[in-house]
Amino acid sequence: MAIDQPLVPQPGDQTRIHNIGYRNYDGPRLGRAYARRSLYSQSLRGAYGLGRSVKSKVLPMLLFVVMCVPAAIMVAVAVATKAHDLPVTYTRYAIIMQAVISLYVASQAPQSVSRDLRFKTVPLYFSRPIESSDYVRAKFAALASAMFILTAAPLIVLYVGALLAKLDFADQTKGFAQGLVSVTLLSLLFAGIGLVIAAVTPRRGFGIAAVIAVLTISYGAVSTLQAIADAQDATSAIPWIGLFSPVTLIDGLQSAFLGATSAFPGGVGPTHAEGVVYVLAVLGLIAATYGLLIRRYRKVGL
């Protein structure tokens, strides 16, 4: 019976054991707050294509220009004609440009979250000192900030132009502040809705189509029902119908509390009592979308 012999290195054997110097990391650990800020910054830059390919910059930059050009034209007309007021109020501008705003959120919400879902990189974020709530807060804040930049920039153009045209400083400053409050709420609401829809599917194309459908179909349906109610002299129903579309929600809220002129048929905006319902609906939707995103990403991270 053969007896096993110990292995003996043969002459010329080149086997070596190398110490390649692996050591524990002894530097500063920046923690969750730094990771959250980094994710927010990267997502905000990505919303305008910064740090990405030229192709990725075209649409968001084009939409930004489209948002600002009408404001610049209005300012030029006001200065040239020495008008006593701007052609459009600060609170009205975003409602007029709501199609551009909807297209922006439809294009950038899926870009922000759908790619991470499609390529299954979300669990990699959670392997770092970052939790699902940090990821949601960073993405939500980044898209809302990008939306605010998009909607506030033309208001700044209008305000600066109004001052150059020597319009009343107090009136313009008040209107500008009211416009900023309006677009802040609009940015939070649209960002939440866009991210919730985009987080459902990893397919960016499906996400874009779904966001456009929700925002445009709801606005079209509500506007049609309001027009029917106005034609039937059921004007008391018009403010309540406006609760079922994001655009009309913002319109009703600002007409009730921010001195805006309502775009509802016949100019019938909500009363202050009805406006309270609008405020609660807007804040409730923002909170609900945030909660849905938290729930969604708790499952994704498993």
If pLDDT is split at 50, 70 and 90, which confidence band does 130 have?
Answer: confident
**Does residue 94 surpass a pLDDT of 70?**
yes
Please report, rounded to a whole number, the percentage of residues in the chain having pLDDT higher than 90. 70
Q: Is 109 exposed, middle or buried (0-12, 13-18, 19+ CB in 10 A)?
A: buried
pLDDT tens figures, 209-222: 999 999 999 999 99
User: What pLDDT score does 131 carry?
Assistant: 86
pLDDT at 298: 85
Which stretch of 17-31, 51-65, 226-240 has the lowest confidence by average pLDDT? Answer: 17-31
Dihedral pair phi/psi, residue 151, rounded to 5°: -90, -25
Amino acid at the residue 116 = D
Mean pLDDT in residue range 259-271: 89
Per-residue pLDDT tens digits for 10-26: 555 566 666 666 677 67
pTM (predicted TM-score): 0.88
Burial category of 5 from C-beta neighbours within 10 Å (exposed 0-12, middle 13-18, buried 19 and up): exposed
Shortest CA distance to 186 belongs to which of 135, 130, 134, 249? Answer: 249
Q: Give the CA angle between residues 150, 156, 160 to the nearest 5°.
A: 155
What mean pLDDT do residues 135-143 have?
Answer: 96
